[in-house]
């Protein structure tokens, strides 16, 4: 099961007690998921739990039980609800044709957005990317959803819009914004999983950065040490080693016996205190001398 399906299944399993909240979520699901044709309203979902959720909400609101549930196969398995609008349906079809956020209570905006997500939303697995989006075919529905997302007071999602051939995409980037939106919809278990995956990714990334840093340092030390040892060997082969000062001979001996030591580590190995820059200065003198031989 994808992470997006997990989120939808968790939300669909939540119980809604107040009628106004039930209405808001059903309204959001229908606006962004229903197709109106020849007096019938049809809604289809890949997730069976989402279809069952809408079926339950509409039956609570209408108390008619006159909805058809079908399962059929096309390129994908779809769970479908077909509604006869000639009956006393709970939501006026005209409201669906011209959706307005004013049709629901301000206290129910979270439920409305949850319904929208169930119908046309998706969220990527946090292992891959931090990305949540709504895919909407019509510009008026797109504007409605964008305005509603921007009306949220407690969280700042800063949604962006992208026009595509199939319609419009409203998307939210950033792990903290997506976490807040998952909690807003009631997907607390998935929000916790999202946060845990994010933390593990950050730990892995920090470890990798440290390893790369250490590897780069070791490579740099190895390269410098190789140049130092070549110079010292050349001085020895030219019988010029004995003419070096005692301090240079000490540094040269320490470098050849400790080829992987850093300059700081070499400075600590000397009998008399010498700074890191002092060690570097002596090694440069050895290289310079070797070049003259």
Residue 172 φ/ψ region, left for φ over 0, alpha for ψ in the -120 to 50 degree band, beta for the rest: beta
Cα 60–chain centre separation: 36
Mean pLDDT over residues 99-105, rounded?
A: 76
Half-sphere exposure of 85 (CA within 13 A, CB side): 15
pLDDT digits (tens, 9 = 90+) for 11-30: 999 999 898 999 899 989 98
Q: Which two tokens stand for residue 79?
A: 């769970």
DSSP conformation class of 238: T
CA distance 231 to 251: 13
Provide the pLDDT for residue 263.
83
Give me Rg for the CA atoms of the chain.
Answer: 34
pLDDT band at 209 (very low <50, low <70, confident <90, very high): confident
- Which candidate, 101, 97, 99, 107, places its Cα nearest to that of 148? 101
Residue 157 φ/ψ region, left for φ over 0, alpha for ψ in the -120 to 50 degree band, beta for the rest: alpha
More confidently predicted of 74 and 89: 89
- Which candidate, 46, 44, 86, 45, places its Cα nearest to that of 64? 86
Asked if pLDDT for residue 147 goes beyond 80, the answer is yes
**Secondary-structure breakdown of the chain: helix, strand, coil percentages, each rounded to the nearest 5:** 60, 15, 25
Domain architecture of the chain: domains with CATH: 3-186 (3.10.28.10), 202-292 (no CATH)
Q: Which two tokens stand for residue 55?
A: 């079926």
- What order do you get walking across the sheet with 121-123 strand by strand? 121-123, 131-136, 167-173, 160-164
How high does pLDDT run on average in the chain?
A: 84
Token pair 């008619």 in the structure block, residue? 64
């Amino acid at each position: 099961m994808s992470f997006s399906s997990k989120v939808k299944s968790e939300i669909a399993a939540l119980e809604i007690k107040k009628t106004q909240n039930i209405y808001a979520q059903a309204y959001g699901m229908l606006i962004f998921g229903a197709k109106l044709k020849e007096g019938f309203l049809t809604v289809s979902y890949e997730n069976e739990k989402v279809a069952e959720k809408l079926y339950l909400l509409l039956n609570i609101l209408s108390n008619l039980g006159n909805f058809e549930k079908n399962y059929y196969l096309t390129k994908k398995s779809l769970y479908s609800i077909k509604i006869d609008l000639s009956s006393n349906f709970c939501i006026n079809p005209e409201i669906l044709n011209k959706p307005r956020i004013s049709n629901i209570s301000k206290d129910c905006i979270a439920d409305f957005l949850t319904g929208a997500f169930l119908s046309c939303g998706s969220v990527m697995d946090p292992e891959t990317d931090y990305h949540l989006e709504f895919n909407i075919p019509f510009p008026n529905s797109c504007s409605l959803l964008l305005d509603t997302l921007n009306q949220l007071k407690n969280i700042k999602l800063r949604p962006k819009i992208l026009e595509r051939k199939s319609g419009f995409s409203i998307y939210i980037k950033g792990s903290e914004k997506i976490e807040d939106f998952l909690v807003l919809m009631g997907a607390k278990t998935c929000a916790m999983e999202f946060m845990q995956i994010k933390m593990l990714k950050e730990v892995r990334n920090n470890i990798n950065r440290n390893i790369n840093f250490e590897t780069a340092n070791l490579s740099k030390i190895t390269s410098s040490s190789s140049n130092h040892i070549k110079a010292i060997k050349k001085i020895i082969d030219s019988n010029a080693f004995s003419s070096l000062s005692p301090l240079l001979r000490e540094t040269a001996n320490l470098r050849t016996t400790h080829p992987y030591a850093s300059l700081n580590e070499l400075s600590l190995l000397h009998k008399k205190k010498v700074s890191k820059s002092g060690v570097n200065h002596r090694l440069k003198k050895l290289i310079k001398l070797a070049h003259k031989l």
